[in-house]
Amino acid sequence: MSNYQRLVDALISRWQSKFLNERTRAELEKELLHNVRQAAAQISDPADFLDWIRKHKTYRFLVHEAQAEGLCSKPRELSAYILERILREQWEEYG
């Protein structure tokens, strides 16, 4: 398992536990952004992370969507955006 997979799995695990605390949507939104910032800060090489995401069977479409929409051009910003999208998908799934 790659370090990036561990990072994403840990992020998802922490995020899923937030739902068990029955927080308000505003509290969850604040927590989501905090978790994304923390996880993004752990990525020492955003370009390498994006290469990994592009090869990931579940998340590769997120890079293409973001670039097609012209949302992020810098690897660090795109990495944070991808992590946020992953958590938001979890939110929709569990919320």
Q: Do 70 and 81 form a contact (C-beta atoms < 8 A)? A: no
User: How far is it, in rounded angstroms, from Cα 76 to Cα 41?
Assistant: 9
13-56 pLDDT per residue, tens:
877 776 666 667 788 788 888 888 888 999 999 999 999 999 99
In the prediction, which pLDDT does 43 show? 93
Per-residue HEC secondary structure of the chain comes to: CCHHHHHHHHHHHHHHHHHCCCCCHHHHHHHHHHHHHHHHHCCCCHHHHHHHHHHCCCCHHHHHHHHHCCCCCCHHHHHHHHHHHHHHHHHHHHC
Unique residue bearing structure tokens 């569990």: 94
- The domain limits of the chain are 3-94
Per-residue pLDDT, 6: 92
| Model pLDDT, residue 20 | 62
Tell whether the model's pLDDT for residue 72 goes beyond 90: no
What integer is the mean pLDDT of 4-17?
A: 84
The mean-pLDDT minimum among 37-41, 67-71, 84-88 falls in: 67-71
User: Chain-wide mean pLDDT for the chain?
Assistant: 84
